[in-house]
Structure 1
Amino acid sequence: MAQKTNKVLKQSGIVPYRMNNGTIEVLLITTSSQQDWVVPKGGIAGKMSPHDSAAKEAWEEAGVIGEVNPIEFGSYKYRKNGKIYSVKMYSLSVKMECDRFPEAGKRIKQWVKAKEAVKHVKKPSLRRILKEFAKYESKIDTM
């Protein structure tokens, strides 16, 4: 009997951030079911680079546009519906936030201090990613 191999599906995600009165804040969004707080992520589109695809997800899911750092700062894997996903994570310095964007009616957005974002998310893998992002606070000006 042949053994079934699980194909790992590649995705990219982004942590949108901004400076607000000297404090770094990250933008959390709800899942499409509005049950949990997450950050934008999705499948890598066509021939786009992972970081450009992550920036596209930031626009579609959160309505933010900005400068993406092309250097991956973390990654994680998760299972959903019997499939395995591998997500490369990037950061996005938000320059513009729009009220109208493709998934505006499906999601709620919330800006929170970077160090407090971990308290809002349930998934351990995403909490770890947000902790990794928070470590970059002192270096954020160079991102």
Structure 2
Amino acid sequence: MTLLARLASDVQLMFRRPPRQQYAALCYRVKKKANDVEVLLLTSRDTGRWVIPKGWPMDGRCSYEVAAREAFEEAGVRGTIEHQTLGAYCYPKMLKNGLKVTCKVQVYALEVSEMSKNFKEKGERKTEWVSCNEAVKRVHEPELRSLFLQFKRRMTEQLAARSPRQIPAE
């Protein structure tokens, strides 16, 4: 590598911003009769692509609290949020000033127990309950797709462990 090329590379690294941090909720519910898991997707306000509720850090709130608040503001859902992250994904975000930044999103599972008819962003987004497989087809971010598949495996194992064993009739 020439000195000039190395210098140019070093300058690029100096000006590269670290990813911006966001927090998200992977909202889900278990359909009791079918023992199936559904996840909640919503459309972004700017591009209309399918996403999960997410937002920027808030002073005085833990990351999982931010995720739960965003789930209510964007989709009108409340429930029990896990304090441990499921994982993270990155995506490119276009800011209002036209600057494109990379965002790293920490994701927390939120089991939905309540759905509100009125919430901050009602009418600004579409929401839809879908299977994890359908969510994988709809979202664009490969790492988020992986999180949905990982979550599906985890929930399949948990639900299998919860269901009573079938005892054959004699």
- On whether the aligned pair clears a TM of 0.5, the verdict is yes
Task: Give the aligned partner of residue 13 of structure 1.
Answer: 24
Give the secondary structure class of the aligned counterpart of 1:75. Answer: strand
- Identify if the C-alpha distance between structure 1 residues 85 and 33 changes in structure 2 by more than 3 Å, giving closer, same or farther: closer
Aligned length, in residue pairs: 142
Where structure 2 has 5 or more consecutive residues not aligned to the other structure, the ranges are 1-6, 95-99, 163-170
Q: In structure 1, what is the equivalent of residue 125 of structure 2? A: 107
Name the SS for the 1:72 alignment partner: coil
Q: Which has the bigger relative contact order, CA under 8 A and spacing at least 6?
A: 1
RMSD: 2.0
Q: CA deviation at 1:34?
A: 6.0
Superposition deviation, residue 126 in structure 1: 2.1
Runs (4+) of structure 1 exceeding 4 A deviation are none
Unaligned stretches of 5+ in structure 1?
none
SS where residue 99 of structure 1 aligns? coil
Bigger radius of gyration, 1 or 2? 2
For normalisation by structure 2, the TM-score amounts to 0.76
Q: Where is the helix percentage greater, Structure 1 or Structure 2?
A: 2
Comparing 54-63 and 32-41, the one that deviates more: 32-41
Residue identity in the other structure for 1:73: L
Q: Identify the match of residue 87 of structure 1 among 90, 98, 105.
A: 105
* Aligned sequence identity (%): 32
Contact 2:91 2:141 in 1 (8 A): no
| Matching residue of 1:126 | 144
Partner of 1:136: 154
**What secondary structure does 1:79 align onto?**
strand
**TM-score under structure 1 normalisation?**
0.89
